[in-house]
Amino acid sequence: MIREEFAQFLKKLKTANDNGQDIDAIVKEYEHRNVYFYNDGSIKKILASEKNLTLTTDLINAALNLVGSDRIENPQLVNPYVPGELGYRSVEPDLLLTNDRGTGVPRDRISIDVQHENNDSLYSDRLVLYVARLTGSMEKPGDFTPLENLHVVSFQFFDAFKGSPNYLHTVQLRNQEQRVYFERQTVTLVEVNKFLKHAEQFAGDRSRIAQWLRAIDTLNREADFSEFAGDPVFRVLQNEVKLCNFSAGYMLSNIMKDIDKSYWEYGAARKKAKEVAKNFLLDGDSVEKVARNTGLPQSTVLELKKEIESPET
């Protein structure tokens, strides 16, 4: 499901729970559907899982563009999802891992976070806070040792660098000559919306992170996944996003956060998206392209196209 559809489902689940109805029956009704991958609770259960470490490792290496001996090979989850537990929330990143590279080599510390809104342009402050906290926790009082490699990866749905032709950004400490001062501390920004809205511009990008973004988007839209089905990593991903893997209790406790803004703004946002979609269709854009650029389900765009082609008299 796309974010708005998932918010509607969660609202239905919450209302049923408040009214004492059978929430497990509702989950059963939707069990064939996909969860919205970028929801905090969804991504934590999928990626912060011991059984899915291969999946998580592939995504990390893709986002950081690590190849060969630089790749993350055997990460350890610092904040794993524990089956049967409801989990916990904090001001820390959604996912935190470490990777030991051997004696005498600083280990890696990797965090992954997803952010949908810029919160009055304060998200950069939050990322800097993450970097400071994660860096500070590397040292014990009175025992200073070389710092670990820190990678903070942010999947965000707004542009960090407006006007830039890139959707993937690497941020490091540099001097006025653009020389890296400290190479073991990196913030990687993945501008998801920019990549999806300008799909034609990035059509030739065959990088692993581009493949990941396309695969996730396809699963969120519940579109034809055959393009990715031959990849063993993406086959695992396709299975893990199924709503049948998520209990009603988990969703009520960990995923309800996503309702707050997306649900209550859903009506107005959807109405505006439909108006934009109609204009795109009138310009001759394909149903798939319009769905991708507006965030509407393809079924809704098809209905709009039929309305345009067969107006009521």
Average pLDDT over residues 278-296: 88
Instruction: Report pLDDT digits (tens) over 39-92.
Output: 888 998 999 989 999 999 999 999 999 999 899 988 999 888 766 544 444 445
CA distance 290 to 100: 45
Average pLDDT over residues 213-235: 97
Residue 11, pLDDT score: 84
**Is 70 exceeded by the pLDDT of residue 255?**
no
Average pLDDT over residues 200-224: 97
Q: Which residues contact 27 (CB under 8 A, 6 or more apart)?
A: 13, 243, 244, 246, 247, 248, 251
CA distance 15 to 20: 9
Q: Is pLDDT larger for residue 104 or for residue 214? A: 214
Residue with tokens 């990460």: 75
- DSSP string over 27-87: HHHTTTSBP-TTSHHHHHHHHS-GGGHHHHHHHHHHHHT--GGGS--SEEESS---TTS--
Q: Rounded to two decimals, what is the model's pTM?
A: 0.81
How long, in residues, is the chain?
Answer: 313
Strands 168-174 and 149-156, by their bridges, are: unpaired
